[in-house]
Amino acid sequence: MMRIILYIAISSDGFIADKNGGVAWLDEYNNEEIAREIDEQGCGFKDFYNSIDALIIGNTTYKQMLTFGPWTFTDKKNYIFSSFDTPKEDAEYIEFVNTDIPTFMKKISSKSFKRVWLVGGAMLAESFYNLGLIDEYIITVIPKKLGEGIPLLPAIVQAEGLTLVDTKKFNSGIEQRHYVRMITMNFGDVLIKKSGIGQFDDGLGVFANRDYKKGEIVIKWNLKILSSQEYEKLPEYEKANFCHNRNGIIYYYPDPERHVNRSKNPNVFSDIENEANIALRDINTGEELSISDTTKEDF
């Protein structure tokens, strides 16, 4: 499933650019010492960039990025929401978008992208947010007030409808906040929505969408085998929680099975041989599914 990630820096009072659209206010924080500290915690730009497959960029942001020098994102597909007066770089890694966002999303959903970086700017981020299309938000808060400028949508800054899954603070005063969108995903016989158990940092769990009898298969796993290159591109959180190694083969748990939480009162168990979650007892519609908190799932 493709995920859209807004990865963006804001001032402490919620602006992404000054009143002239400039980002020179970030320069004092672009130094080796700060970059090293952030990289050491595994949340620097290099790690993030290596985890994504494509970029989505607004027209104004694209024009501004062209003033920074030669285009650096040449190894990824860059989708530019453009107008006719946009200066164009003739390259295979650039594609200009003149359709509406839903039409565009339908098109790129057919690609093999797993993670797509929504670069900005503010208007494009607001449009994607209002359409419910942003899955993750990685907001780097710079300890500097601008007072005025181009703001990020207040609903995003205030994390409305989002769940905070991680916060990292640095000696420079920079703070990076990682949010996920709180959603309900319907997989037919089960739903993914906000958990009442809360084992996972993203706050999600799996719920029965019908009644089940004891011994019935509740979820048939759809494990994916990853290459070492695919594994290395995953965020550390997904490596730790949603991957298992069996005899040197890396298996990736997709939704919904990867969001079955653990508890002291489980109602399903993991049948490794048949790759399924099986009902331990009768389960009613609406119950959250959980396995035993003593279960060892490593293959």
- Residue ending a domain, among 181, 204, 219, is 181
From 132, 152, 181, give the residue that closes a domain: 181
Residues sharing a CB contact under 8 Å with residue 115, sequence separation 6 or more, in sequence order? 2, 3, 5, 51, 52, 53
Residues 98, 138 within the same domain: yes
Same domain, 171 and 191: no
If asked whether residues 203 and 264 sit together in one domain, one would say yes
| The predicted structure's pLDDT at residue 298 | 45
DSSP 209: S
Q: What is the pLDDT of residue 299?
A: 38
Q: Within the chain, what is the greatest distance between any pair of CA atoms? A: 64
| Residues 138 and 51 both lie in one domain | yes
Q: Do both 28 and 175 map to the same domain?
A: yes
Its pTM stands at 0.67
Sheet of 185-186, strand order: 185-186, 190-194, 204-208
pLDDT score for 224: 87
Q: What is the pLDDT of residue 86?
A: 55
Q: What is the sign of the dihedral through the CA atoms of 59, 65, 71 and 76?
A: negative
Where does a domain end: 120, 153, 181? 181
| pLDDT on residue 297 | 52
Our count of domains for the chain comes to 2
Q: Domain for residue 299, yes or no?
A: no
Looking at the structure, tell me whether residues 65 and 192 fall in a common domain: no
Same domain, residue pair 50 and 154: yes
What pLDDT is recorded for position 218?
Answer: 95
Asked whether residue 162 is domain-assigned, the answer is yes
Residue 298 lies in a domain: no
Same domain, 51 and 176: yes
Q: Under a CB-based contact definition with an 8 Å cutoff, are residues 56 and 113 in contact?
A: no
* 3 state SS of 144: coil
Q: What is the pLDDT at residue 83?
A: 67
In a domain, 205, yes or no: yes
**What's the average pLDDT block by block, 10 residues per block, for the chain (299 residues)?**
92 94 90 84 85 95 90 94 64 90 92 93 93 92 96 90 85 91 78 80 84 95 88 78 84 85 93 90 95 67
The pLDDT value recorded for residue 78 is 96
**254-291 pLDDT tens trace:** 888 888 999 999 999 999 888 899 999 999 999 999 99
Query: What 8-state DSSP symbol labels residue 292?
Result: E
Report the pLDDT value the prediction gives residue 296, as an integer from 0 to 100: 59
Pair (173, 265) in one structural domain: no
The per-residue pLDDT for 142 is 95
State the number of CA atoms in the 13 A half-sphere of 201 facing the CB: 15
Q: How far, CA to CA in Å, does 124 sit from each of 30, 77, 106, 119, 133?
A: 25, 18, 17, 9, 11
> Which pLDDT does position 101 carry in this prediction?
93
How far apart (Å, rounded) are the C-alpha atoms in residues 21 and 265? 54
Q: What is the distance of C-alpha 155 from the center of its chain?
A: 18
Domain range enclosing 218: 185-292
